[in-house]
């Protein structure tokens, strides 16, 4: 039988190993975020236009527009995203039974991840199909299965969490959600926390702005504007 000293020392070592793994994971994710930002800027999946802002479907005026579906047209970008998603599933959710994609932006990427991991795939519609079986979830999803959801973009989190609700209503457990990019809005963080959903995003807004600044995509003045926008995106207006 081990002595109390040995037990204490052993537990200390275990905690140190866990801390090291967590630190390495965080460092790795920081590097992934830089690569994702660079890739999305290069293929113009993300456009930054502080002087000529976009209008989102929500009505918000925004100096940034993100269309991650463009990544599917570039094999190196598509593959990098797929491999990183698969790595995270293997590291964090090894007991996942099914990979689910959120329609429509994450259907293709989710299917690629499921194929790489050799797992079943389903996708979740934004609303039930208006004919036939009127399915909300397409594919074979059985109650009791553990699911990882793939999303392309997180803004407020509203539509993403509807997919979570649909899967939970089907009697399944949502282990977590993986996204290509998040704006990092406080409201999204609060919404995911309230819904008890573990969210991991490959890319994030803060890293994007840093990479864009270093890469000459935006000026120093633009960086200030982009930072101001995220603090209150719903009420932001371009300065005259």
Structure tokens at 194: 């309230």
| β-strands 121-124, 137-138 pairing | antiparallel
Per-residue confidence in pLDDT tens, the chain, 240 aa: 344 444 555 555 445 546 556 665 666 899 999 999 999 999 999 999 998 999 998 889 999 999 999 999 999 999 999 999 999 999 999 999 999 999 999 999 999 999 999 999 999 998 776 554 458 999 999 999 999 999 999 999 999 999 999 999 999 999 999 999 999 999 999 999 999 999 999 999 999 999 999 999 999 889 999 999 998 898 898 765
Tell me if the bond preceding 178 is cis, omega within 30° of 0: no
40 close to 181: Cβ distance less than 8 angstroms: yes
Residue ranges and CATH numbers for the domains of the chain are 4-43+68-209 (3.40.50.2020)
Most distant CA pair in the chain, distance: 75
Phi/psi for 102 (5° steps) reads: -95, 125
In whole angstroms, give the CA distance from residue 36 to residue 27: 14
> Which positions ≥6 away from 106 have C-beta within 8 Å?
123, 150, 151, 152
């Amino acid at each position: 039988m081990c002595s109390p000293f040995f037990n204490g020392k052993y537990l200390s070592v275990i905690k140190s190993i866990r801390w090291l793994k967590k630190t390495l994971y965080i460092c790795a994710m920081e590097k992934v975020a830089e690569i994702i930002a660079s890739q999305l800027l290069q293929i113009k999946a993300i456009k930054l236009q502080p002087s000529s802002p976009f209008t989102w479907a929500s009505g918000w005026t925004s100096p940034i527009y993100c269309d991650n579906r463009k990544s599917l047209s570039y094999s190196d970008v598509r593959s990098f995203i797929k491999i990183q998603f698969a790595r995270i599933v293997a590291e964090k959710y090894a007991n996942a039974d099914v990979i689910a994609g959120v329609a429509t932006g994450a259907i293709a990427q989710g299917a690629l991840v499921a194929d790489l991991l050799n797992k079943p795939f389903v996708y979740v519609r934004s609303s039930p199909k208006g004919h036939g079986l009127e399915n909300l979830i397409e594919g074979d999803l059985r109650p009791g299965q553990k699911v990882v959801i793939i999303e392309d973009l997180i803004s407020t989190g509203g539509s993403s969490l509807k997919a979570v609700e649909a899967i939970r209503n089907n009697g399944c457990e949502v282990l977590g959600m993986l996204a290509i990019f998040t704006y990092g809005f406080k409201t999204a963080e609060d919404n995911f926390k309230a819904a008890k959903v573990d969210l991991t995003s490959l890319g994030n807004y803060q890293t994007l702005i840093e990479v864009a600044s270093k890469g000459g995509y935006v000026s120093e003045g633009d960086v200030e504007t982009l930072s101001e926008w995220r603090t209150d995106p719903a009420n932001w207006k371009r300065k005259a």
